[in-house]
């Protein structure tokens, strides 16, 4: 083609990009292409040719850049703007009916409730963030609060728009959805893997997750990944419809792909009818699903229902029946998790189930083993649902051999030989060597160094992993034995970074009793409980010597938490580490007043919005030092809500409940007491 002048080329490039994005919308979102593939290819080739002539006009959001950028060294962490919560599961009709009844009871409503029913795709959850209509970030779900930045890889997925359609979209929009690999794409991918002599993927979900998390985006670009959006995370700067179903249709108008299988249904009968329909249709779908999801349609009702733990009360996943097989239980090992939980793991005669060969399966805990009456040597039924860890469902008593053996919980940790404890009323047994046990050491060190604990700046997760793996640190007290020379020799460290870390370690030695208790990582002792313990006992020695009866007298400490605290301070290994930390120079002021003598004792505050003079965490710490309790939710018992700039729903709720609202000036007066 003849070379256009730059101004004309710029206009033509803009026109071509808009045309290609429009045709992507017609093809992926509406499933109604307006032009044949050949015409689409011609437009793409023309754009590529112009961008080759004028490389300075190439932008990261051009359709030609979906092939992927340079390989990454690793994925950076992303803090989700709004947590990506899990869903509770239902496995039969009775559990769906119980869910519907809970909704009715909580709302005090009669008659059918309208739900949105949608297929539960078997892929990888992802969050997409658009600003001014442009895709600026994509992140995996991770632990729900922190995920991995996979923006470069997400750009290679053609069903993810790089620009939103229309003009009425929010200035800032975050949507959630599922990245998946269609069945046909999965077959082709495994055929290609086989030709190259490489390992085959077990199922489409594994293939999708592995493809999206490739450090080289060019590899992701070769995988036929697709995405459906199923919910809204955040919308700023635009009015939204009042139902979940209408919001999904709005997302579709903005160019985001929404499953055509999503329906609005009435009542629990409509939910069960949809489930049966999708179960029958499952094999004909071009992608894998492992169940369906039901969500209360009215947004106002969703807000009224709220959340419990890590899941919304207004939604549930109704899972399809799992696949099962029969095999023999050969032995049982006990694995120690990062929190010290001992999990019995069944070693099995290998059996093919749920699309994979299974030789290990979880037995959950000792209570489950007793309830199911499972013994070593039994013939057992194994269940594997989708990509969920296989489990032993039950034994077949009629096939039990005479030499079958009872499964026994070890008295000592199989990793560090610390005492195994199982508190009354708890199903899970745990290793008590929290600060000492190698199975827990990485997580113990990461928690110890975290901002709300010892706040050791520069000691990130990857550095902790490296320090442990090369043997420089075994336990948290070893951090204070490090020197600049050792650190400077580490990969990607350098002398200046090493000096900064040593300085941060030195700075962390001056702390508070509450932060130190929290840093120890005692089971179920969070910031508020650690603060309450410090306020109540005034010294570490008093806490360490307290019996369970004395611990229960502390606000926020019940019998289970008291048991965790008491057990933690009875373990010699933990006491050795604490003594070593104090000898290293960690100290705090133990002259705090008793909690009841502090000026804000008995008051409860909620912080919302952005403060100018300090962060919310700093404000929280100052209020707590004055004896106040700081919580994350507003209730009629809240003393006051402290509202900064851009305060949100908490301020609205406070006004509805008639709770006092204080501005930043009032907060500063409060802190001067």
Separation of alpha carbons 349 and 361, rounded Å: 11
Q: Which residues contact 159 (CB under 8 A, 6 or more apart)?
A: 24, 28, 29, 226, 227, 257
Q: Is 601 left (phi over 0), alpha (psi -120 to 50) or beta?
A: beta
Separation of alpha carbons 476 and 442, rounded Å: 9
In a 13 Å sphere around the CA of 395, the CA atoms on its Cβ side amount to: 22
- Tell me which H or E stretch contains 153: helix 151-154
Separation of alpha carbons 509 and 580, rounded Å: 12
Among residues 623, 628, 637, the alpha carbon closest in space to that of 668 is found at: 623
Among residues 295, 356, 299, the alpha carbon closest in space to that of 325 is found at: 356
Three-class SS string for 327-340? EEEEEEEEEECCCC
- In this structure, what are the phi and psi dihedrals at residue 607, rounded to the nearest 5 degrees? -105, 135
DSSP assignment of 161-178 equals -SB-SSS-S-SEEEEEEE
- Residue 120: active-site member: yes
Q: Hey, is 98 helix, strand or coil?
A: helix
DSSP 8-state symbol, 29: I
Q: What are the Cα distances from residue 120, in Å, to 230, 356, 610? A: 10, 21, 37
Separation of alpha carbons 178 and 24, rounded Å: 18
Separation of alpha carbons 232 and 465, rounded Å: 35
- In this structure, what are the phi and psi dihedrals at residue 643, rounded to the nearest 5 degrees? -110, 120
Show the tokens assigned to 48.
Answer: 């590529």
* Angle of the 267-281 helix axis to the 93-107 helix axis, nearest 10: 150
Separation of alpha carbons 374 and 246, rounded Å: 50
Among residues 287, 310, 172, 165, the alpha carbon closest in space to that of 232 is found at: 172
Separation of alpha carbons 550 and 565, rounded Å: 11
Contact 623, 630 (CB under 8 A): yes
Separation of alpha carbons 437 and 435, rounded Å: 6
In a 13 Å sphere around the CA of 186, the CA atoms on its Cβ side amount to: 19
Show the tokens assigned to 237.
Answer: 């700067």
Among residues 608, 603, 611, the alpha carbon closest in space to that of 642 is found at: 608
Contact 495, 487 (CB under 8 A): no
DSSP 8-state symbol, 412: B
- Tell me which H or E stretch contains 214: none
Separation of alpha carbons 84 and 347, rounded Å: 34
Catalytic residue among 8, 120, 167, 593: 120
Task: Give the residue numbers annotated as catalytic, written as ranges.
Answer: 120
């Amino acid at each position: 083609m003849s070379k256009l002048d730059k101004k004309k080329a710029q206009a033509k490039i803009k026109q071509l990009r808009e045309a290609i994005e429009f045709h992507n919308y017609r093809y992926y979102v509406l499933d109604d292409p307006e032009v044949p593939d050949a015409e689409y290819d011609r437009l793409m080739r023309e754009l590529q040719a112009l961008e080759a002539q004028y490389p300075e006009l190439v932008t990261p959001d051009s359709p030609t850049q979906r092939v992927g950028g340079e390989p990454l060294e690793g994925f950076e962490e992303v803090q989700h703007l709004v947590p990506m919560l899990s869903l509770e599961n239902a496995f039969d009709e009775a559990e769906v009916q119980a869910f519907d009844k809970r909704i009715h009871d909580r709302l005090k409503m009669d008659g059918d409730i309208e739900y949105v029913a949608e297929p539960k795709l078997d892929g990888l959850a992802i969050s997409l963030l658009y600003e001014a209509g442009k895709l600026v970030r994509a992140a995996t779900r991770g632990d729900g609060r922190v995920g991995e930045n996979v923006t470069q890889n997400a750009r290679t997925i053609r069903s993810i728009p790089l620009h939103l359609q229309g003009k009425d979209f929010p200035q800032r929009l975050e949507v959630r959805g599922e990245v998946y690999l269609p069945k046909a794409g999965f077959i082709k991918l495994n055929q290609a893997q086989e030709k190259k002599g490489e390992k085959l993927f077990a199922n489409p979900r594994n293939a999708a997750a592995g493809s999206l998390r490739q450090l080289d985006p060019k590899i992701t670009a070769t995988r036929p990944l697709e995405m459906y959006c199923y919910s809204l995370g955040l919308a700023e700067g635009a009015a939204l419809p009042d139902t979940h179903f209408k919001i999904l249709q709005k997302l579709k108008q903005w160019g985001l792909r929404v499953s055509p299988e999503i329906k609005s249904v009435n009542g629990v009968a409509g939910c069960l009818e949809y489930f049966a329909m999708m179960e029958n249709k499952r094999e004909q779908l071009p992608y894998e699903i492992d169940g369906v999801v039901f969500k209360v349609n009215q947004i106002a009702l969703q807000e009224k229902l709220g959340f419990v733990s890590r899941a919304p009360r207004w939604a549930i996943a109704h899972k399809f029946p799992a696949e099962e097989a029969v095999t023999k239980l050969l032995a049982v090992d006990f694995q120690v998790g990062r929190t010290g939980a001992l999990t019995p793991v069944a070693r099995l005669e290998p059996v093919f189930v749920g699309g994979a060969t299974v030789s290990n399966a979880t037995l959950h805990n000792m209570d489950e083993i007793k309830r199911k009456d499972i013994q070593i040597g039994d013939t057992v039924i194994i269940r594997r649902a989708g990509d969920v860890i296989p489990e032993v469902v039950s034994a077949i008593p009629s096939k039990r051999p005479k030499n079958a053996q009872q499964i026994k919980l070890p008295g000592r940790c199989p990793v560090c030989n610390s005492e195994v404890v199982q508190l009354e009323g708890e199903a899970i047994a745990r290793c008590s060597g929290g600060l000492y046990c190698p199975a827990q050491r990485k997580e113990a060190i990461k928690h110890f160094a975290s901002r709300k604990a010892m706040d050791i700046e520069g000691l990130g997760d990857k550095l902790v992993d490296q320090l442990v793996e090369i043997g420089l640190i075994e336990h948290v007290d070893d951090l204070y034995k490090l020197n600049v020379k050792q650190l400077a020799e580490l990969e990607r460290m350098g002398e200046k970074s090493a000096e900064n870390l040593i300085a941060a370690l030195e700075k962390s030695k001056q702390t508070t009793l509450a932060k130190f208790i929290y840093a120890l990582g005692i089971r179920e002792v969070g910031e508020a409980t650690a603060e309450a313990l410090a306020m109540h006992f005034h010294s570490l020695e008093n806490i360490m010597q307290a019996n369970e009866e004395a611990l229960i007298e502390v606000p926020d400490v019940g019998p289970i938490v008291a048991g965790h605290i008491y057990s933690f301070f009875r373990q010699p290994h933990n006491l050795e580490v604490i003594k070593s930390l104090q000898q290293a120079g960690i100290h705090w002021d133990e002259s705090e007043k008793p909690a009841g003598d502090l000026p804000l004792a008995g008051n409860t505050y909620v912080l919302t919005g952005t403060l100018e003079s300090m962060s919310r965490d700093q404000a929280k710490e100052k209020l707590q030092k004055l004896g106040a309790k700081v919580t994350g939710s507003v209730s009629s018992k809240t003393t006051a809500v402290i509202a900064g700039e851009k305060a949100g729903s908490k301020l609205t709720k406070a006004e509805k409940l008639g709770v006092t609202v204080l501005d930043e000036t009032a907060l500063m007066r409060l802190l001067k007491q």
